[in-house]
Structure 1
Amino acid sequence: MKNFKVWIKAAGIRAAKTMAQTAVALLPASATISAVDWKVVVGTAALAGVASVLTSLAGLPEIEETK
């Protein structure tokens, strides 16, 4: 159970970073902050987060180092 908690924490941190990077990358596409299509930004960031968690299923180097 402890190993799962470590994995979920590491995968969550990685997914949050990926989501933030994706959201920030989409912002310059608009001329002003009021022109940002927030539904697209949030949807794309969420999809990137899901992809990150699925990729983490293959293994996380952060956890491998602690063994």
Structure 2
Amino acid sequence: MKKWIKKTAIKTVKTMSQTAVGVIGSSLVLSAVDWNVVASSAILSGIVCVLMNVSQLKEEE
């Protein structure tokens, strides 16, 4: 379980970072970035990433 949590946490941070970069990159200038949109998009992508990785959990015998 600890191994799954560590792997999922790393994947989630990477996914959230990539999402933030994508949203920031869609603005023409840094001053035009809507930081609320960046934060909410990153958080949502993190939640989705965790939910997608739940399928990797294996039942313990």
Question: Taking structure 2 as the reference length, what is the TM-score of the superposition?
Answer: 0.87
Aligned counterparts of 1:29 and 1:11: Cα–Cα separation in 2: 27
The letter for the 1-side match of 2:18 is Q
| Corresponding residue of 1:35 | 32
Query: How far 1:32 moved relative to its partner?
Result: 0.8
The gaps in structure 1 that reach 5 residues or longer are: 61-67
Structure 1 segments (4+ residues) deviating >4 Å: none
Aligned counterparts of 1:14 and 1:40: Cα–Cα separation in 2: 21
Query: How far 1:35 moved relative to its partner?
Result: 0.7
CA RMSD of aligned residues (A): 1.1
Query: How far 1:29 moved relative to its partner?
Result: 1.6
| Corresponding residue of 2:21 | 24
Aligned counterparts of 1:48 and 1:54: Cα–Cα separation in 2: 10
- Residue 14 (structure 1) aligned with residue 11 (structure 2): yes
Q: Percent identity?
A: 46
Task: Report the secondary structure of 2:56's partner residue.
Answer: coil
The gaps in structure 2 that reach 5 residues or longer are: none
Question: Taking structure 1 as the reference length, what is the TM-score of the superposition?
Answer: 0.80
